[in-house]
């Protein structure tokens, strides 16, 4: 008989923790799991899923305009926010139920309580009960970061945006990362007057300069008041009038709502990790090795709490690799290179591999690039442009990076990511026949580089 209550205890019921728990249980392990909030974690409850549904909802305003340009006789009006919000909340309830049933059906014992660590093999639940486990997996994700400044108690974060009782008439979004930019586009599409402050010179730091420049240009053209080189000095609650904001450039204004999207921190506070010898990094991340093991051999961590690559599919893959390593005896590191990703701005940005800036610092490159007005939007009279860009090694001819700014860029970059991950060369791309007429055909028809570096 085992000396422990469980072979594995997972703290955190998000995508990574649930996948690890289910896979371990499928291998015959006894598994417990604790989640203090809603089952499904950031992605399902307050991240990817509700955000993408809001992206869909916000895109219809332009669709109505385009439909009229194509000859449809229709009228449009403001979104009925209570109706959408009600359906959104019902969908999140449904998905949470799916996660709960998946766990129960897998034989995982789960509880809706906070859990902290007492020692390398024991966790204490909020009700005071203690559970022991041979292995403990931390999968507690991340939390929004709001800087400490006068009036910061009056702001909301991306966690709150899905539960607003009413859509504000105006909103200030502070931040320049993908969460800030996505919600700027979403809320503008829903009819909110959006102002965005970012302290840096250009939004979407870390992404390809040409691609992020085009996204910023199109956001401004759509009517988003994007102000770079600008930050907040002070906020004051003005009651029914909204929130008064003083900016670093000396300007001030009143907004119905102020949302901070200034990054997310690993959610490692108060778990008792430091007392056990688990190393915690400067940003609060749990430091792990290639196999997600901490400095304490029985304790592992996956997902955003490790601050490696904060993406849901990465957390899921790390959970699967953990199970392979610990419960199948097959040591499996996770490959964090060449991960495709998408930013659901309007237009979308899809990316995989190196940016032009990073690639030219590493080796000589050729840049193949095409920017044009897509047929669908051009016919409707819109000035939208898309960007298709390949970064190619001069020495090996491998495609080192691909960057797409276009409607449905996320769908395209998933497929391009397969080719780039396989090590495809530019000539491999060239050998593929174009699908015409599509936007993506440009990826296989660009014959001459626009520049070399």
In the 8-state DSSP scheme, what is residue 448? S
| Phi, psi angle pair for 241, to nearest 5° | -80, -20
The DSSP secondary structure of 209-245, one letter per residue, reads HHHHHHHHHHHHHHT-EEEES--EEEEEE-GGG-EEE
Catalytic residue, from 135, 225, 336, 436: name it.
436
Residue owning tokens 């209570």 = 82
* Separation between Cα atoms, residue 8 and residue 71, nearest integer Å: 60
- Within 13 Å and on the Cβ side, how many CA atoms surround 151? 18
Say whether 135 is catalytic. no
In terms of Cα–Cα distance, which of 144, 196, 204 is closest to 173?
196
How far is residue 185 from each of residues 29, 47, 82, 340, measured CA to CA in Å? 45, 15, 20, 21
- Contact present, 4 and 134 (Cβ < 8 Å): yes
CA dist 420 and 400 (Å) reads: 7
**24 in Cβ contact with 31 (< 8 Å):** yes
Which residues, at least 6 apart from 75, have a Cβ–Cβ distance to it below 8 Å?
Answer: none
DSSP per position, 118-145: EETTEEEETTS-EEEEEEEEE---EEE-
Residue 69 buriedness (CB in 10 A; 0-12 / 13-18 / 19+): middle
Catalytic residues, by residue number, are 436
């Amino acid at each position: 008989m085992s000396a422990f209550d469980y072979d594995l205890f997972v703290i955190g019921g998000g995508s990574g923790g649930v996948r690890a728990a289910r896979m371990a249980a499928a291998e015959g392990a006894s598994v417990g799991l604790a989640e203090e909030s809603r089952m499904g974690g950031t992605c399902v409850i307050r991240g990817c899923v509700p955000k993408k549904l809001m992206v869909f909802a916000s895109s219809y305003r332009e669709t109505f305009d385009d439909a009229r340009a194509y000859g449809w006789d229709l009228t449009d009006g403001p979104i009925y926010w209570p109706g959408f919000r009600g359906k959104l909340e019902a969908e999140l309830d449904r998905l949470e139920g799916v996660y709960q049933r998946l766990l129960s059906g897998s034989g995982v014992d789960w509880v809706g309580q906070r859990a902290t660590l007492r020692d390398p093999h024991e966790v204490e639940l909020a009700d005071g009960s203690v559970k022991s486990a041979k292995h403990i997996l931390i999968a507690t994700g991340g939390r929004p970061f709001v800087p400490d400044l006068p009036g910061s108690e009056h702001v909301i974060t991306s966690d709150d945006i899905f539960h607003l009782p009413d859509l504000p008439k105006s909103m200030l979004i502070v931040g320049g990362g993908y969460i800030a930019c996505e919600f700027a586009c979403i809320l503008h599409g829903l009819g909110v007057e959006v102002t965005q402050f970012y302290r840096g010179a250009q939004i979407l730091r870390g992404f390809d300069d040409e691609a992020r420049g085009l996204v910023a240009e199109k956001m401004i053209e759509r009517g988003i008041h994007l102000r770079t080189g600008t930050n907040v000095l002070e906020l004051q609650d003005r009651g029914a009038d909204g929130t008064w904001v003083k900016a670093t450039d000396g300007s001030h204004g009143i907004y119905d709502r102020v949302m901070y999207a200034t990054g997310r921190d690993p959610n490692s506070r108060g778990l008792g990790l430091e007392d056990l010898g688990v190393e915690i990094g400067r940003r609060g991340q749990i430091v792990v090795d290639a196999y997600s093991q901490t400095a304490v051999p029985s304790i592992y961590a996956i997902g955003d709490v490790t601050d490696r690559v904060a993406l849901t599919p990465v957390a899921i893959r790390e959970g699967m690799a953990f199970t392979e390593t610990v419960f199948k005896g097959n040591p499996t590191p996770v490959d964090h290179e060449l991960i495709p990703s998408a930013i659901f701005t309007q237009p979308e940005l899809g990316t995989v591999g190196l940016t032009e800036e990073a690639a030219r610092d590493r080796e000589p490159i050729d840049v193949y690039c095409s920017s044009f007005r897509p047929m669908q939007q051009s016919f409707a009279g819109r000035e939208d442009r898309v960007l298709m860009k390949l970064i190619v090694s001069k020495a090996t001819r491998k495609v080192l990076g691909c960057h797409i700014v276009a409607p449905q860029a996320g769908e395209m970059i998933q497929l391009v990511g397969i080719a780039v991950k396989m090590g495809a060369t530019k000539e491999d791309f060239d050998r593929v026949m174009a699908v015409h007429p599509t936007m993506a055909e440009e990826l296989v028809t660009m014959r001459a580089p626009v520049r070399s570096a």
